[in-house]
Amino acid sequence: MADQGSYLYAVAGPLPDAVVDGIRGIDGAAVRPVRDGDLTAVVSTVDLADFGEESLRQHLGDPEWLEAVARAHHGVVDEVARHATVAPLRLATVCADDNGVRDRLGRWRDALHRTLADVAGCAEWSVKLYPSPPDDPDRAGEAEPDALSGAEYLRRRKAAVTHRQDAAQTAAAVAEDVHGELSRHAVAARRLAVHDPRVTGSATPMTLNGAYLVADGEADLFRTAMAALAERHGDTRVEVAGPWPPYSFVTVEPA
């Protein structure tokens, strides 16, 4: 087997050389177009010592390597997305050579055309919600139980539990409301898995990790809607990020 492979970042329609000229990918390698008919794959050469199946498996467990490759992958996709509609590929899609790339383009032609048509003229926006921490009836149930009568302790305990449940229900309802409203301003919408609180560092769990495919011409409306929602739910922290290339909307779902 050759010791180099062709790493795929994204697929686009017809793409002038000028769009990819000068872009650097993983390990600083020059990015190039590989064409089959009217489809263009955005590709760079990688060392199979790093991207062979076995070494890749090991590398993926190395967070520094993973971060560098993920950022490089995203950097290329992002740069091309500034100029053209792209369908990003998942990390670490490697073919043995450019003929392998053309072969994939040919075999996936129809699906790729459909996907590119779906996301044409759109970008992805990310919206995350975190409810504010509940206020402290919580504590009332837990503090100084010795100082309370049994009945009073139980009453407070129950109130605290109810309060927490109410807060959770409210937070869930806010997430529903926001997601529903934003979906109306989007071509497509998905709720992604929420991130673990241990890594978000937030005092309260993320209640919405929404991804919205928004037409470029509607982006201002989308943001206006988001601002109105943030106003309506003033005690919910909102994080908006975008525009992203449409990663979350080119996923090939199981049949």
Partner 1 sequence: MADTRDRAPATRPYGSGVAGHGLAGSQLAGAPQPADLADILERVLDKGIVIAGDIRVNLLDIELLTIRIRLLVASVDKAQEMGIDWWRRDPMLSSGNGSGPDRRREVEDG
Contact positions with partner 1 (CB under 8 A) in 77-96? 78-79, 81-84, 87-96
User: By CB under 8 A, what part of segment 166-195 binds partner 1?
Assistant: 187, 192-195
> Residue 10 is inside which H or E element, if any?
strand 4-12
Please report whether residue 216 would count as binding partner 1 according to CB under 8 A.
yes
Quote the CA–CA distance of 20 and 44 in Å, as a whole number: 11
Give the 3-state DSSP-derived string for 166-179, with helices as H, strands as E and coil as C: HHHHHHHHHHHHHH
Least distance between partner 1 and beta carbon 149 (Å): 34
CB closer to partner 1, 89 vs 160: 89
Contacting residue, 26, 29, 174, 250, with partner 1 by CB under 8 A: 250
Quote the CA–CA distance of 72 and 252 in Å, as a whole number: 23
Least distance between partner 1 and beta carbon 220 (Å): 8
CB closer to partner 1, 91 vs 140: 91
Choose the stretch contacting partner 1; rule: CB under 8 A; options: 69-77, 147-155, 163-171, 176-184. 69-77
What b/e sequence results for 107-142 when a residue is b if at least 16 CB atoms lie within 10 Å of its CB, and e otherwise? ebeeebbebbebbeebbbbbbbbbbeebeebbebbe
DSSP code, position 30? B
Least distance between partner 1 and beta carbon 251 (Å): 5
Please report whether residue 45 would count as binding partner 1 according to CB under 8 A.
no
Q: CA nearest 243: which of 143, 124, 130, 161?
A: 124
Please report whether residue 204 would count as binding partner 1 according to CB under 8 A.
no
Residue appearing with tokens 């967070």: 63
Contacting residue, 8, 42, 160, 175, with partner 1 by CB under 8 A: 8
Choose the stretch contacting partner 1; rule: CB under 8 A; options: 29-37, 144-152, 177-185, 196-204. 196-204
Please report whether residue 197 would count as binding partner 1 according to CB under 8 A.
yes
Least distance between partner 1 and beta carbon 221 (Å): 12
Residue appearing with tokens 């504010």: 132
Paired with 31 in beta bridges are 44
